[in-house]
Structure 1
Amino acid sequence: MSSEGRVVSRQGDRVDNSTGPPVKKCNRDVPNLPLCFQSSLHLIPCLLIVIYGSVNLYKLSRRPLIQPKSTNPALIKISRLTYLSKLLLIIAISIIQLAYSLFLLTRFGWWDPAQCISSPFKYGHHAFSLGIKDKHAHRHLISQDKSAQADSSHPRLESPLIYANMFSRLAFGWMTPMMRLGKSQYLTEDDLWILPRTDQTDALTNQLQQTWSRQLSRAPSSPSLIRAIAQAYGGPYLLAALLKCIQDILQFSQPQLLRRLLNFADSYSPGNQPKPASCGYMISALMFLCALLETSFLHQYLYRFSITGIRVRAGLLGLIYQKSLVLSNKEISGRATGDIVNLMSTDISRIQDSCADGVVLVSSLFQITLPFISLYNMLGWSAFGRAAVVLLSIPLNIALARLQSKLQTMQMEYKDSKIRLMNEILNNIRSIKLYTWENAFTKKLSAIRNNRELGTLRKIGYLSSASLSLWTFILFLVAFLAFSIFSFVSDTPLTPALVFPLISLFQLLQTPLTALSMVISEWVEACVSANRICKFLTTKELQQDAVVRSAYSTDGDVPLVEVKDAHFTWSSSMACTLSGIRLSVFGGDLVAVVGRVGSGKSSLLSVILGKMVNQSGTVQLRGKVAYAAQTPWLLSTTLKENILFGAEYNEELYQTIIEACALTDDLAMLKDGDETQVGEKGITLSGGQKARISLARTIYAWADVYLLDNPLSSVDVHVARHLFDKVIGPNGLLRSKARILCTNAIPFCQQADELIMLRDGKIVEQGTFQSVLANQGDLKKLIDNFGINTSQDDTSAELMPSGANMLSSENITRSSNSKRFESVVLMKQPTSSTCQNRNRESLTTCKPLGKVSEHKEKGSVKYNVYKTYCRESGMASVAIALASTVAQQVFSLLTILWLKNWSSNSKILTGDRPFHLIYFLGIYGLLGLLTSVAAFVNGLVLFSICAIRSASFFHDQMFTNVLRAPISFFDSQ
């Protein structure tokens, strides 16, 4: 359509064909948009759909195809009906569009054909979408119905975010079902949806692992963890930054539109030419539209950077966990578990919280620049005084940031020391209570917590309050200099039309200037935490080529475990622990390794697992390996989950293992059977029961090679015989597997295919049972002393005392006093049969521990909590904090009211103009200075007094309560 197009107006069925004037250039007084622009507005949604659809198609093309487990006839029928109905709908829309065109030609009335598709094709909270989405919806309903019939526990469903359309994503409509459920009940973990595959921990960890590996290969001496995180999760983060910049532009446009609206209102004052009413409507509509779009972009930005923070946290958790599994022995011995826990809790949380800092930093600079441009347009060169103040404040803030970084590093070191000491106290709580050392350890912990850690936090609080008040004063100083220079230089009086937009701009400056202070503080903490994590990730690992691993070989002539002339040590700086080891284990072989305590039996298994440093020789391992540790451990879950250990449940294999490990009677005595909840310390179970559950877990892995580190030492002799016959021995479940058994149970050695005796890390005897007897060596003497034909049913012949008797044989007497003392300790342990019988009796008389659910408070925070915080923070300090907060707001409000009074009287005041300027500026400066002082007092009291006092009280109170808890409390955790 040409610029001199017709002005079309509909009045009933008439069309006015009068020709209007040429379309003029759009101006800010009389808004007039070109007709070509108006006709192209409908292309914007189409363009958005094309762009959004292209991105979604690209994402869908990279996803693996979903293989359905079974074909559902109902699903096929519903899909056919859906596609048929939508085909008919397309035909109907085409007919309506054709009729609509004919109606325009014949000048009939108009009606919207899109109304017919608005409501009948809605599903749940989603709007009308394509057939593929309805297909997923119907499949979801059918699967949900089947799941409800098969299992009444309401299994977790797939996240609707995967199939949400563009409008649902923009309005967060896909969250509506969760909001409705949360309105009707308290949400639990079972109510949450299953995460999308790309947001699951293993995928995020692998993504970060790849970028971290590239950093290590490019700069092995100084890799950058921040750069690796940016490369792994930087895409959505950049989109969030773009959305934030758009939101800043929309936010900045509000004062400009407000200024034009005030000018429009001022035009209706006496003596001025009134502007068209359409201009006021247009400005008001634009202000509403800007506010609406600003809210939408703001929440999209918040959502994306929050998701990025969660992804960073998940990736770092997985990366630290993987690193902790491959730490070298030297690093493990010099690092407490609390140090790693501190990295995974405090340091990762700080990095997650600082994910918004990068966007906020750029956005703050952007938000400072935009008001400066507007101030320059309104105030002229006097606006440059503001820029000078901001630039001069940067060196001071840099100095504060450096000092805070040093204090933050010290504080994290003190926190590591505190957690390390706390772990020692909790792990040795029995000894502490036995010797009444509670007060001594409380003083020791208090010296680290209150004197060092909280002392450093108090200094950090001083710096934080100073930095916060500094930015508050800078904000006031910017406004003060702007008004001062403008008042003295310009002859234009301050009017409300000028003052209120300036106040609006200064309020816009308050957010970025305050954010800069917080960003600097959080960025310093995040950098310190990132350096700590980076230092941990670059520590020395286990030797990767210590063991050569390959696939399982079905060739019976190829050994599954092969050790040739191996010399191993726990650390490269230590002497050789094992030397000259030669060993070959084939499938179906049982190799028994015997020797006194400290001879190297467990070290030999560690060699095969790759836990030691290979100085020379080779270790070849073929197939999957399962390991049963000498000290059994349990997870805080059910007995069944402890055995399955995440593997798929196989009913036949599971029941066979339960019977072979002699757990049938034990589970029968428990009320909940294998669903009984146990803690990591397994207090409801005896040592023998824990050992058998650990052995069952090892068997259920169904590996090719089994490494068994003395699993029979904690059970009775007859139970040991049962385990050996049903599991380990030639006729047991593992008869076709390669087995290496470290044991001192001599009666079982005669059924082994090969015997190995270790002494001081060397193999002194090796061969079959008959060849060992023929050699007349130390092993033959040991067998003769113990007696091969000792009664297997004598419960007084426990395995551990028999091992102690073996150790006390004069043929292998130890030379050091410490080793002799260790033998005495082992001999004085209570017999396993006694422990077993005592625990069996406790199971029959005591109620077994079932599934324990922690008590959780629901609802709002109780008044007593706030009261306790206020009391322990100090009522005087709380009163000062509240008074300073109120004073800060009052002084800030008085500053605005004083500016209003100044601008209202600026045209009335005549005479001595400098005197009036000094008067108004003096009062304005005093009010701003009082606002900054109140902010400093508020931050000082809150950060350095209230927070420190309450933290000290609650920490000491919780520690005292835990320390005074009975032993049963620690055993049940």
Structure 2
Amino acid sequence: STRKECSLSGCRPTGPKLTEQTQLLKKLRQEQNSGFCLFRVLARSFGPFFLKGILFLIFHDIFMFSIPQVLSLLLGFMRDQDSDLWKGFMFALLLFLLSSLQSLFNHQYMYSCFTVGMRVKTAVMGLVYRKSLVISSAARQSCTVGEIVNLVSADTQKLMDMVVYFNAVWVAPIEIALCLFFLWQRLGPSALAGIATVILIFPLNGFIAKMRSKLQEVQMRYTDSRIKLMNEILSGIKILKFYAWEQAFLERVLGYREKELNALKRSQVLYSISIASFNSSSFLIAFAMFGVYVLIDDKNILDAQKVFVSMALINILKTPLSQLPFAMSTTMQAIVSLRRLGKFLCQDELKPDDVDREPYSPDGDGVVIDSGTFGWSKEGPPCLMRINVRVKKGSLVAVVGHVGSGKSSLLSAMLGETEKRSGHVSVKGSVAYVPQQAWIQNATLKDNIVFGQERKESWYHRVVEACALLPDLEILPAGDSTEIGEKGLNLSGGQKQRVSLARAVYRKADVYLLDDPLSAVDAHVGQHIFERVFGPKGLLKDQSRVLVTHGLSFLPQADLILVMVEGEITEMGSYLELMARDGAFAEFIRLFAGNERKERSHRGTRKSVSRLSMTDFSIDLSQEQLISGDRMSSASIQTMEAISDTEDQEQEDLGKLTEADKANTGRVKLEMYVEYFRTIGLALIIPIVFLYAFQQAASLAYNYWLSVWADDPIINGTQIDTDLKLGVFGALGFAQGVSIFGTTVAISLGGIIASRHLHLDLLNNVLRSPMAFFEVTPSGNLLNRFSKEVGSV
């Protein structure tokens, strides 16, 4: 097939290069079709529920178009003096029933659409979450965390919006056609004037929407920059306060905020024009149709039946006119989101068969790698080559080597996180992994260790003692019920690493993969943990252990040592065997032993200074200081003794660090309104009130004038002063449109002014808050205030 493609394109076969091009073309086609495949799956899963909503919509439209017809019959009855009274009651009752049924089916339709939309959003969020757990290392390099978060938050919301508004794409044109057909029946060719007005309004709103879209992109770019900067500020707030950089960063944030508000201001002016044109659309259509109708022939009479039925149809026409552009825009955005989601969901995954997961058995080897070659992606040079490892049950295998030699990659290969190119990997039983960088949940210390498993007190206390966490529990406010802040905010590096290790040990796994877990602890603490956990008499003595380490003192007690050099195992054996060979391992030992002696002598001269800085700048006393003989002050001891005597509930409250983000319920306090209006200023509030009152007066006068016009007596088959009536009608409608535009602009400017002042106050308060505030307040809550809440204001 490859040769056939080459002959068709007129080129010669080029071997592997052509194969790569073919694979690339295949991948591009897969990405293009992935969005359609996702849509097909969603349609198959949620289609029946969506069709039920369409049924409600059809009934709603039937009742909606029946109302003007019944209104026409009612007005005809009122004009006919000889009609029976029961007909009037029947028409009025029918009008009430039709309106009620229309409202009922409309709400059922919206409920059905929002329910299906929410289910689609939840399902796709679950898909993205599951995919993010099994995505391959090569694909993870192209899919950033920000992109995945954006897929979950923004793109899934666009899918939900499409489900809610998609029906308007095909229903709105039908509704517009029906409205114009019924208007033609009432007013004849004059209805064409209404069509012309609609054609003129559409491009204006389209142009405004395009301009606002560009301004929104500019605004969102500045918003993203501002939120990114705020995230960096909140992440490094301690350093920022150490160097007193609050004012400098405040000015940078305000710079982005000013540019953001300038773009928002221009966008809001365009939005005001759009709102004014939309709210005036019914007037413009009525003005064009009624004007043409009365001017083309003096015999054309505007009576109540024609006026009010036509106005009812024009009001119906407003809904599809407003929904159609939005529905088309939402659908186009959803198509883009479907492609993005489909592309992500079609990314390469980790292959489960790269590692043979076998059930635990007391005989044989725990981990076996035969002739293994591994890479972080399918292309490019491998990160591990010619790997042959056998980890026996209950043995301790130490992995040593220089930085970048492939030690962590070897553990990743055992976990199945790398791309296996050749060889065989098998692991017997369950696996526990301790990474170099400890991962800590925003939960209690106990929850971080137990990690959802059943708590067994005796085993729990043995694990805590072995991982040297008992002295920490004594100094923490509520012991193991103390809440740990975001990313282990109130724990030192060594404490975080020991909690991470305790979680793995508590798991009682069959195989332990330990990526330098003692790097963040002092030497004596590391020795304690090694003896109680990893060593020949430790808690894990019966489990298979693979330990990546730089600690030379632990190596003599290892059953097997692997020496890694540039992705290969150059030497393998016991400590004595490797030292006797005088190879790479012996060189490694001599190099690190010399470095350790230099560090020890340097540390000895600065011991007191380093200890002082640790106690000054650490939130809590570290475990290393306690084991090395440091003592707390008498005041601290008295405080801890007082805490230990309190009740359990008080202990739990004391250990609680972060505060839940509570939303105020009930009525908004008067002081909040006063504060908000004060930030806007009386200079803007008074014009807003005046314009709003003028808008309502113009609206009432415009409708009243129309009713007066309809009641005008007919003399010799014509109505007198139609030009004057049409002119007054147009002036009142124009005044209403101008007042709507003025009100919207004034309210938008007032909101922007309030937003500027409140954001400045919020920023000042946050940057000037003490560190204690940031310890109890999650950064997510603060970022939410600076993004969503400020946007709402």
TM-score by length of 1: 0.65
Deviation at 1:637, TM superposition (A): 1.5
How much does 1:592 deviate? 0.9
TM-aligned CA distance change 1:243 to 1:885, over 3 Å: farther
Distance 1:337 1:513, change over 3 A: same
Deviation at 1:543, TM superposition (A): 5.8
Cα displacement (A) at 1:472: 3.0
Q: Provide Cα deviations, 1:441-464, integer angstroms capped at 9, x if missing partner.
A: 33333333331x434333433433
Residue 424 of structure 1 corresponds to 232
**What amino acid is the match of 1:309?**
G
8 Å Cα contact 1:773/1:780 also seen in 2: yes
Q: Secondary structure at the match of 1:678?
A: coil
- Flag the structure with more relative contact order, 1 or 2, with Cα contacts below 8 A and sequence separation at least 6: 2
Secondary structure, in 3 states, of the residue corresponding to 2:569?
strand
* Counterpart position of 1:358: 166
Structure 1 residues 414, 629: CA separation in 2 closer, same or farther (over 3 Å shift)?
same
Q: Which residue of 2 aligns with 1:675?
A: 481
Cα distance in 1, alignment partners of residues 185 and 69 from structure 2: 11
Which residue number corresponds to residue 8 of structure 2?
none
Map of 1:35 onto structure 2 = none
Instruction: Say which of 667, 674, 681 aligns to 1:867.
Output: 674
RMSD: 4.1
Partner of 2:375: 568
How many residues are matched?
Answer: 718
Aligned match of 1:959: 763
- Whether 1:923 aligns to 2:728 is yes
Q: Shift in Å at residue 766 of structure 1? A: 1.8
1:692-722 deviation digits (Å, cap 9, x = unpaired):
2211222344434321122223445554344
Counterpart in the other structure of 2:408 = 602
Alpha-carbon distance between aligned partners in 2 of 1:341 and 1:505, rounded to the nearest angstrom: 45
The correspondence of residues 684-695 of structure 1 with structure 2, limited to 5 A, is: 684-695=490-501
The correspondence for 1:769, drawn from 575, 584, 589, is 575
2:215 matches 1:436: no
Per-residue deviation, 1:301: 2.0
2:549 maps to 743
1:760 Cα deviation after fit: 4.3
- Structure 1 segments unaligned to the other structure (5+ residues): 1-214, 787-801, 810-825
Q: Which residue in 2 is equivalent to 1:445?
A: 253
- Residue identity opposite 1:435 in structure 2: Y
Q: Distance in 1 between matches of 2:479 and 2:587?
A: 46
Residues 700, 832 of structure 1: alpha-carbon distance in 2 compared, 3 angstrom cutoff: closer
The letter for the 2-side match of 1:390 is V
Mapping for residues 526-545 of structure 1, pairs under 5 Å: 544=351
Distance in 2 of aligned mates of 1:673 and 1:760 = 45
1:903 aligns to 2:710 (yes or no): yes
Residue 900 of structure 1: CA displacement?
Answer: 0.6
User: 2:625 is matched with which residue?
Assistant: 834
Secondary structure of the corresponding residue to residue 592 of structure 1: strand
CA 1:969 to 1:757, structure 2 compared with 1: closer, same or farther past 3 Å?
farther
Q: Distance in 2 between matches of 1:514 and 1:881?
A: 25
Where do residues 383-422 of structure 1 align in structure 2 (5 Å cutoff)?
A: 383-422=191-230
**Contact in 2 for aligned 1:357/1:519 (Cα 8 Å):** yes
Paired residue secondary structure (1:556): coil
State the identity %. Answer: 35
**Structure 1 segment 129-528 matched on structure 2, within 5 A:** 219-221=30-32, 223-224=34-35, 227=39, 229-267=42-80, 269=81, 273-275=82-84, 277=86, 279-325=87-133, 337=145, 340-346=148-154, 348-349=156-157, 351-353=159-161, 355-451=163-259, 453-489=260-296, 491-516=299-324, 519=327
Q: Which structure is higher in helix share? A: 2
Q: How does 1:61-140 map to 2 (within 5 A)?
A: none
CA distance in 2, matches of 1:470, 1:646: 58
Aligned pairs (5 A) from 1:841-852: 841=632, 844=637, 845=639, 849-850=655-656, 852=658
Instruction: Letter of the 2:84 partner, please give it.
Output: K
Deviation, structure 1 residue 740: 1.2
Give the AA of the match of 1:368: I
Task: Give the C-alpha shift of residue 350 in structure 1.
Answer: 5.1
What secondary structure, in the 3-state scheme, does the structure 2 residue paired with 1:375 have? helix
Instruction: Quote the residue 1:724 is aligned against.
Output: 530
User: 1:355, 1:592 → 2: CA distance?
Assistant: 56
SS of residue matched to 2:166: helix
- Contact map agreement 2:368 2:427 (CA 8 A) in 1: yes
* Contact 1:745-1:803 within 8 A present in 2 as well: no
Compute the displacement of 1:316 (Å).
3.8
Shift in Å, 1:668: 5.4
Question: CA, structure 1 residues 348+829, in 2 after alignment: closer, same or farther (shift >3 Å)?
Answer: farther
Of stretches 588-597 and 311-320 in structure 1, the one that deviates more from structure 2 is 311-320
What is the CA–CA distance in structure 2 between the aligned matches of 1:835 and 1:654, rounded to whole Å? 21
Aligned 8 A contact 1:542 1:613 in 2: no
Deviation string, structure 1 residues 579-628 (Cα, Å, up to 9, x no partner): 44432324333211123444433333234344445566665555543211
Q: State the shift of 1:851 in Å.
A: 6.2
- CA contact 2:495–2:623 (8 Å) conserved in 1: no
Relative to structure 1, is the Cα distance of residues 379 and 706 closer, same or farther in structure 2, using a 3 angstrom cutoff? same
Alignment pair present for 1:642 and 2:448: yes
Closer/same/farther in 2, CA of residues 893 and 740 from structure 1, 3 Å limit: same
SS at match of 2:488: coil
Instruction: Establish whether residue 948 from structure 1 lines up as the match of residue 755 from structure 2.
Output: no
**Kept after mapping to 2: 8 A contact 1:404/1:521:** no
Distance 2:92 2:717 in 1: 40
SS at match of 2:55: helix
User: C-alpha distance in 1, partners of 2:351/2:612?
Assistant: 41
Provide the C-alpha distance between the structure 2 equivalents of 1:563 and 1:906, rounded to a whole number of angstroms.
Answer: 103
Q: After TM superposition, give the deviation of residue 761 of structure 1 in Å.
A: 4.0
> What TM-score comes out, normalization by structure 2 length?
0.79
TM-aligned CA distance change 1:707 to 1:416, over 3 Å: farther
d(CA) in 2 for partners of 1:891 and 1:365? 31
Q: 254-263 or 654-663: which moved more?
A: 654-663
**8 A contact 2:374–2:418 mirrored in 1:** no
Shift of 1:359: 3.3
Residues 714, 832 of structure 1: 8 Å contact kept: no
- 2:596 is the alignment partner of 1:805: yes
CA distance in 2, matches of 1:841, 1:353: 59
Residue by residue over 1:913-952, the C-alpha shift from the partner in whole angstroms, topping out at 9 and shown as x without a partner, is 5x72221111112222222223333333444x23433333
| 1:749-774 CA-partner distances (Å, limit 9, x unpaired) | 22222112334444343212332232
2:23 maps to which residue? Answer: none
> How far is the alpha carbon of 1:894 from its aligned partner?
1.7
